[in-house]
Structure 1
């Protein structure tokens, strides 16, 4: 049996990686687990929750898969990518997939472009129809400042360990990501010690790479990577 753990990002939830999870479920008989980190999900309740709780929750899910499966793959999105890389150093897993992993964060140039588009839509009276606007409005209004510091602590814990990642790794990044800049993927690719590593850029994806127009091309590459010997 193969187990596959998918870890979502900061202020997000399983919906961020669900399209990929569904893609893999349709094509495999793997045990696929998509946990909700403490305080996350469709209704955020982050106040008072420390970064260690997010890591520990993902860790417990991973330990369960390791105890019941012959092989285990871990897929992490954004902050979940850093948690996934941290777990790959601490535990024996077989393959790692990092999606928009936040070794660096805030791509100011792209973010400014997206804000400009939002302003334009606002002037045209379409702002309330914009999914990006509604999603980030919800996140901004429901994320305590102290929680953002807890996110930074995840980065501080995980980033120094990247050079110890030595298992087959697939790294994917959207070129239009306004949250995590493309240099983050390049940095991870150049820093990890894995002999087998792949770097994939989506020309259409923004931060939510599993929801991009070309997501099925990305999913195909991930599936091929995970299936290959």
Structure 2
């Protein structure tokens, strides 16, 4: 099955500091590509993988689960760790949960986390019915393109596959239990107006991690896919400053070279 235009994975060979970017549930690398480009242009080594079952058609996602999505970002992280002296992990939505699990599992190998509207729970009455309903109803309406900026579109599925949603619910529970193992410096940027993930998810994450170096930033002008929204540039700049503070080898702006 061909990958949707714009949903292709992205890789950039830069300097000794690496960043892994994790996209969201039913989304694609397209939602994070401007962020990845921003970092690549500043000399960082960047990896933005396409998660299994994503970026083609929603039916393909029915055959995948959280173990597949996590295995892909884990593989990408290990590649960066072999190549770089320091590696940071950034994530949007479910990508935030993937980032948190990587941090919990890999410890000091992950130098820091930047999360944008991270997911922590599948909300609503329907979530409790998922274990049964998914066997009778294959999909429900999509969650892509929750963006305030007019004309900005996310490349993602227009349907949510319910087998995959059930797996996501399980994954969120696992990650929630692992949050106290997260000790790395952490920046959480979240939108008060988010129609996919409520602010309560960010609050829950912030209350349960063991990180002591924590920064919380509100994205007042954006909805869920804030990386393609009004606050995108702010996210890019804040995250680059975050890396600069924690990665001495990054040096001054422009001192590293990228291809």
Calculate the TM-score normalised by the size of structure 2.
Answer: 0.74
Match of 2:49 among 31, 35, 40: 35
2:133 maps to none
Partner SS state of residue 158, structure 2: helix
Match of 1:66 among 74, 81, 106: 81
Superposition pairs of residues 13-24 of structure 1, within 5 angstroms: 13-24=28-39
Superposition pairs of residues 1-229 of structure 1, within 5 angstroms: 1-27=16-42, 29-44=43-58, 45-91=60-106, 92-106=109-123, 138-140=157-159, 143-229=160-246
Give the ranges of 4+ consecutive aligned residues of structure 1 lying more than 6 Å apart after TM superposition: 129-132
Specify which structure has the higher proportion of helix.
1
* 1:150-174 deviation digits (Å, cap 9, x = unpaired): 1112202211111111010111111
The separation in 1 between residues aligned to 2:245 and 2:66, in whole angstroms, is: 34
1:144: how far off?
2.3
The separation in 2 between residues aligned to 1:70 and 1:131, in whole angstroms, is: 36
Aligned length in residues:
206
1:181: how far off?
0.6
Contact 1:6 1:17 in 2 (8 A): yes
The separation in 1 between residues aligned to 2:152 and 2:240, in whole angstroms, is: 28
2:6 maps to none
Partner SS state of residue 228, structure 1: helix
Contact 1:74 1:96 in 2 (8 A): yes
Q: 1:205 to 1:64 in 2, by over 3 A?
A: same
The separation in 1 between residues aligned to 2:238 and 2:124, in whole angstroms, is: 25
Q: 1:103 to 1:38 in 2, by over 3 A?
A: same
* 1:121-171 deviation digits (Å, cap 9, x = unpaired): xxxxxxxx9877x977x422xx32111101112202211111111010111
The two structures, once aligned, show a CA RMSD in angstroms of 2.4
The separation in 2 between residues aligned to 1:172 and 1:41, in whole angstroms, is: 25
Contact 2:92 2:115 in 1 (8 A): yes
Partner SS state of residue 22, structure 1: helix
* 1:154-205 deviation digits (Å, cap 9, x = unpaired): 2022111111110101111111110111121122112111110111110011
1:22: how far off?
1.3
The separation in 1 between residues aligned to 2:34 and 2:115, in whole angstroms, is: 15
Partner SS state of residue 203, structure 1: coil
